[in-house]
Structure 1
Amino acid sequence: MHAVDSPTTDPMMTPSDVIAQPAATRTRRRSADGRTPWLLALPTLLVLLGLLGYPLYRMVLLSFQNMRLRELITGRTPPWVGFDQYTKVLGDPVFWTVVRRTVVFTAVSVVISVVLGLAVALLMRRVHRRVRLFMIVAMMFVWAMPQLVAAQIFKWMTDADFGVLNYLIDKLPGVEFQGHSWFLSPTQGWIVITTLVVWAGIPFLAITLNAGLTQVPKELLEAATVDGANAWQALRGITLPILRPLLIIVTTLSVIWNFGLFTQPWVLRDSKVEAEYQTLATYAFTQAFGRSNYSLGSAISVITVLLMLGVMAFYIRQMFKIGEVD
């Protein structure tokens, strides 16, 4: 039998060469390991670049032009107007009213969604296993329902003539609710829209936070109970600090999703969104396709993206922080 050759059997190698060879091998291995994730992610990055990067580039370019219906039909290059579209948008008080309405709706809906989602998650930890399984399955059905279908259901439920909600309220003693229109008052209309958004958002929050609650050590909760802490004190002093990274992530995601509100008001208002129900997404769409101000709509969309970049940067920063901790 022949012995297997090893680097140390080479008479031309010095001791320093023998020591340096494993170090060089480890360096090459680390370099290869560092490239592997990028190579695996490259196809996905290329697809995202084509599906998102190019449309975003076209939208930014269009916001510096003046695309009108004539250029759209003839295919001519729109004239370059520089920052005129942004000047027009930022100087329009209606735009700032829409921004303020979008921010207020996002803040209110996210706070309600996270609080209720956490409450449902805490309830899931206290009920029987079969009840918890039933709750998860029911919420998964809600989560899987398309936004368009959910909005159509809420539209039927709040219909002034045939809505089941008016019918049930009208059955209360001394209440006359037959034929009531929920969208004549912007306050009532936004209550309906917010209820729809919160209802659709709770499943994700509750299921995610329930998974996070399983990581809270029972020994800490039992020790706090022995020390005389009540349920609220245990929640505030033990559960919430442990859930804090997860709460930040789900809250940030909820902000991103709710800030881009479009489907719910668009469907509930029969594709004719009144000024009182305009959000940044519907306002940009209305300007671009309702009034053929394509460049103005692009400028509004670019501003919306810039507003969201701050939230997205915060989300990514939190993800990296959690990765460092892990």
Structure 2
Amino acid sequence: MTVQTERPPSGPPEVVKSGGGRTGAPRTPRVRIGSLGPYLLLLPALVATLVFLGWPLVNNGILSFQNLNMRQVILHLTEWNGIDNYKEVLKSEDFWRVTGRSIVFTAINVVLIMVLGTLIGLLLAKLGTKMRRLLLFGLVLAWAMPVVAGTTVYQWLFAQRYGVVNWVLAKVGFSSMADYDWFGGQYSTFFVIITLIVWMSIPFVAINLYAATTTIPKELYEAASLDGAGAWKQFTSVTLPFLRPFLYATTFLEVIWVFKALVQVYAINQGGPDRLTEILPVYAYIEGSGNQHYGMGSAIAMLTIIIMLFLTAYHLRIVLKQEEDA
């Protein structure tokens, strides 16, 4: 008896689908477009950053190596002078005086902004719904105020003859302040500028800190209360650990924003009186555009960026070290 067997197929094995149909040989997996999605979404922002920030930075760096004054601009001349601009700036006592002033100015502002913003943010978490909405509305108005408009308001508030501040001080008994010139001295001018910057920066800290407090589980406060912890103990053991990453990140941003506060300082009194309230961005602008030493101004601007990078890197190093220790 002869048994006939079926010859196996010579082609590739068929793959049976779950629904009963058949397909050909399994194909090599393709790279899905979904895996490139995040990069495609970031591409417009990256291009915009390179165009609007990268190119001006490169162009400013090129100008800093040139002897570029009004004569060269009119005659369309390009005169390279190497690092002479940087040498002249670094040898100048004015530059180091302004640098120290900028660091102290930034430190005072950031400390005031973070302390007051944190207190207001914690107050928002404790207020009732109506009062919270009212305070949030006021904070948003201050935050939304354009910088130039806010500066103009403060110039009017602290005006010598018709300023509201002098009028109020005179009414409450300080008659000597009736005609006080707030913009006639270095410290009084800085007081107005710091008040303006702190007023415009507190809403960002307060609103974001309040939002951070809403993420803290209420069970932790209940457990701490059962353990006999008072308000201060609850803040240090429950609230502060949750808010610490936010405080680090916000301080980092405030250092950058305050250090480059060109508009407020210049618009208040153009760095006066006698250039005693200049910080580095204002100093670079006045030396560059004001005195028409464009190469010098570009060199100061590049050094300002380097100093700011060192400050932010130092702060970031402290933050990372504290997180590792925690």
Q: TM-score range by the shorter chain?
A: 0.7 to 0.9
Contact 2:136 2:207 survives alignment (8 Å): yes
Q: Identity over aligned residues, as a percent?
A: 36
Aligned equivalent of 2:259: 259
Q: How far off its partner does 1:120 sit?
A: 0.5
Distance 1:315 1:41, change over 3 A: farther
Aligned equivalent of 2:77: 76
Mapped to 2, the partners of 1:127 and 1:44 lie a distance apart of 39
The runs of at least 4 consecutive aligned structure 1 residues that moved more than 3 Å come to 270-274, 310-321
1:237 aligns with 2:240: no
1:151 aligns with 2:151: yes
Mapped to 2, the partners of 1:217 and 1:174 lie a distance apart of 49
Mapped to 1, the partners of 2:317 and 2:50 lie a distance apart of 22
Mapped to 2, the partners of 1:3 and 1:172 lie a distance apart of 92
Aligned equivalent of 1:39: 40
Give the TM-score, by structure 2 length. 0.86
Aligned equivalent of 1:324: none
Give, as a single letter, the amino acid of the residue that structure 2 aligns with 1:38: Y
Mapped to 1, the partners of 2:307 and 2:176 lie a distance apart of 44
Q: How far off its partner does 1:126 sit?
A: 0.9
Mapped to 2, the partners of 1:152 and 1:273 lie a distance apart of 18
Give, as a single letter, the amino acid of the residue that structure 2 aligns with 1:266: Y
Give, as a single letter, the amino acid of the residue that structure 1 aligns with 2:153: I
Contact 1:109 1:258 survives alignment (8 Å): yes
Q: How far off its partner does 1:40 sit?
A: 2.2
Contact 1:216 1:242 survives alignment (8 Å): yes
Which protein has the bigger helix share?
1
After superposition, residues 1-326 of structure 1 pair within 5 angstroms as 3-6=20-23, 10=25, 25=29, 28-29=31-32, 32-77=33-78, 79-173=79-173, 175-269=175-269, 274-310=274-310
Mapped to 2, the partners of 1:85 and 1:133 lie a distance apart of 53
Mapped to 2, the partners of 1:231 and 1:80 lie a distance apart of 64
Mapped to 1, the partners of 2:297 and 2:187 lie a distance apart of 27
Mapped to 2, the partners of 1:92 and 1:173 lie a distance apart of 46
Most deviating of 33-42 and 280-289: 33-42
Unaligned ranges ≥5, structure 2: 1-18, 322-326
Mapped to 1, the partners of 2:196 and 2:269 lie a distance apart of 14
Deviation digits for residues 235-281 of structure 1 (CA, Å, limit 9, x no counterpart)? 12221111111111111111110000111121211576632100101
Please provide the CA RMSD for this pair: 2.5
Aligned equivalent of 2:8: none
Distance 1:308 1:35, change over 3 A: farther
Deviation digits for residues 32-71 of structure 1 (CA, Å, limit 9, x no counterpart)? 4443222222222222211111111110001011101111
